[in-house]
Amino acid sequence: MSVLERVKEAAETLTPAEQQLIKQVIASPRDIALGTASGLAQRIGVHEATASRLAKKLGYANYAEFRAAIQEEFIVRTDPATRVRNTLQQTSEAGLITDLVSREIEALAGLQRYVDDAKLHAAAQALLKARRIYVFARGNAEALAVLIDRRLRRMGRDTIMLAGEGRDLAEQVLGMDGDDAIVAFAFRRQPTHYAALLNHARAKQATSVVISGSVGPSLVPAAEHLLFAPRTGSQDAFQTLTVPMAICNALVLAMATQDPDASLQYLETLGQLIDAFN
């Protein structure tokens, strides 16, 4: 079982400090794999014992075994991204755009390590079966919520954009049932109302798909389908939406691939409607 699979299984038992450690591991696996338990703990200001307890909670005999697993899972696989980064760093003096592009390329190059075709198509299939798709996001993620909501509607899917605070959300999901699905976004931290929404979806047996950054494996409750990958930039710095946007686009394309006739028919009808309205 991989490190990420172990994290997903143990997500609901992790303490806040352990969740912070997991974010660091996912965001900077190479640094963590080459460091020590005390080094990892110092990054977020917790005791070294917290890192050791996390390793044992994930099923490893000790932190050394946990670190070896990280090395096996991340170091070899990140070599292509490292080469791209090193190459682009040589020309980083060209300015801001060059630096930004290099970071985006590095993040996108590593996307396949986290989201493969199997996960993508499983999530797409679940959404295709849904009668209605609820969309939830907070903060900067709302831009992606608008994007995926619009693209789903263009494919003929019935969507409901969730907005407002607790009472508003409760009213909006009142009719949710087992034939529905929810697509939620989470980046720097678990959003307020995330747990209530996912727990309600689980109680109603509605499908849940979460698109996330490094925080993904530590989200509680866990989604049925988690599509996550680290975003460009470090956790404590400016981060962009390029990687999660790529996941959104790939998810929509996977849906179209699985049901091409219906998708194209809706798009053709949309084109005719646009002409008529114009």
Tell me, yes or no, whether 95 lies in a domain.
no
Q: What is the pLDDT of residues 249-273, one digit of tens each?
A: 999 999 999 988 888 888 899 899 9
Q: How many domains does the chain have?
A: 2
Alpha carbon distance 29, 100 (integer Å): 21
Residues 118 and 67 in one domain: no
Within 8 A by CB and 6+ apart from 57, the residues are: 10, 13, 14, 18
pLDDT of residue 78: 43
Backbone angles phi, psi at 212, to 5 degrees: -145, 165
How does strand 158-161 pair with strand 225-228? unpaired
Domain boundary among 20, 51, 74: 74
Q: Among residues 74, 96, 130, which one ends one of the domains?
A: 74
What share of the chain in percent tops pLDDT 90?
47
Q: If DSSP codes are grouped into helix, strand and coil, which group holds residue 86?
A: helix
Say whether both 144 and 30 belong to one domain.
no
The rounded mean pLDDT for the chain is: 86
Same domain, 64 and 155: no
The last residue of one of the domains, among 74, 94, 126, is 74
Cα 119-122-123 angle, rounded to 5 deg: 85
Round the CA-based radius of gyration of the chain to a whole number and report it: 20
User: What domain range is 245 assigned to?
Assistant: 107-277
**Cis amide prior to 221 (ω within 30 degrees):** yes
pLDDT-derived band at 230, boundaries 50, 70, 90? confident
Would you say residue 258 lies in a domain? yes
Per residue in 184-227, pLDDT tens?
Answer: 999 877 888 999 999 999 999 999 999 999 888 888 888 999 99
Gap between the Cα atoms of 162 and 171, Å rounded: 10
- Residue 143: inside a domain: yes
